[in-house]
Amino acid sequence: MNDRWIWHGGGIEAAKRHFGEGDWIDLSTGLNPHPWPGAASMVFDWRRLPEPEALAQLEANAAACFGVDPRYVCAVPGSEIGLRLVGALIGGAARHVVPGYRTHGEMIPDSIATDRDDAPGAAGHLILANPNNPDGRTIAAEAIRELLDPRDGWLLVDEAFADADPAQSVAAAVDDAQRLIVFRSFGKFFGLAGVRLGFVLAPQVIVAALRARLGAWPLSQAAIAMGTAAYVDSGWIAATRRRLPDDAAALDAMLARHGYRPAGACPLFRLIEADDARALFEHLARRAILTRPFAEQPRWLRLGLPADAAALARLDAALGRG
């Protein structure tokens, strides 16, 4: 199987080259299929470098949305880069919860894979995601806070998918007295992955070190402007938080009709098991529907939300082997 599809979602061009052109539906990414609409009408002055005041306003708006003091917020060009920068900064012994995002095992050299149930108690940094990717498992915020240990290591929590349900977030616990670092993503909930915008929420000593590494202009004009406006669009945010669970429920019902038991509490994607998920991936791809298979779990297939009733109907027909 093409490594592009098992490495990360979004390999539409690779899929077209392999399976042929067509009206493709991309369900491989776990992105909100209803992107924030304000981006379409925005205009940017590409002749000017971003102003530091504009970056500060973006971070303030995002901080208010996350429920954290702006002093603890550092905007980065994508949460992927934020994860790797923080890993390079803190170093040391680390464990990462599996299954999980590939970068969690790469951000600190020699990090050891651990099951979620075995995570408490061991020494070193602990890296986990909430909600988790790809299985969509969630952990109550209070249970995550109980993993904090002021005597040893950092707790690093990837909340890339947390915007759909802010009650799951531990962002409000970030301060200078806690060894807690939280990562947030703009692209997933707002459906605009190409903006490449993320945030590291951390004590000020970590924020200062990140800023030193990022330099004077870490983000583009477009990323700053879109994020600044989107994070204060409270009406759209509230409506989207209501809509996504309904869309996920419709996907669940359809999958159940075909004998699949969708797993996960994150409304942006579902995980299913099949006797031969690779064959199911190929079957759907031949019908121009891209999903996400996994090299280490040949029975797993992750599906994002179809964008509309027509896309859901096409997936329904394809799963019926049509």
Q: State pLDDT tens for residues 152-208.
A: 799 999 999 999 999 999 999 999 999 999 999 999 999 999 999 999 999 999 999
Q: State pLDDT tens for residues 217-257.
A: 999 999 999 999 999 999 999 999 999 999 999 999 999 99
Q: What separation, in Å, do the N-terminal and C-terminal C-alpha atoms of the chain show?
A: 23
Domains in the chain (CATH in brackets) are 3-35+235-319 (3.90.1150.10), 41-232 (3.40.640.10)
- What is the per-residue pLDDT for 119? 66
- Among 68-82, 145-159, 216-230, where is mean pLDDT lowest? 145-159
Can you tell me the distance from the alpha carbon of 185 to that of 137, in angstroms, rounded to the nearest whole number?
A: 18
Question: Average model confidence (pLDDT) for the chain?
Answer: 94
Beta bridge partners of 198: 76, 185
State pTM to two decimals.
0.95
Collect contacts of 227-230 with beta carbons under 8 A, ≥24 apart. 227/58, 227/61, 227/62, 227/75, 227/186, 227/195, 227/197, 228/54, 228/57, 228/58, 228/61, 229/38, 229/42, 230/36, 230/38, 230/39, 230/186, 230/190, 230/192
CB-CB contact of 14 with 2 (8 Å): yes
Can you tell me the distance from the alpha carbon of 303 to that of 42, in angstroms, rounded to the nearest whole number?
A: 31
pLDDT band at 3 (very low <50, low <70, confident <90, very high): low
- What is the per-residue pLDDT for 75? 98
* Three-state helix/strand/coil letters over 103-140: HHHCCCCCCEEEEHHHCCCCCCEEEEECCCCCCCCCCC
Q: Return the H-helix or E-strand segment holding 83.
A: helix 79-90
Nearest to 228 by CA among 50, 46, 86, 84: 50
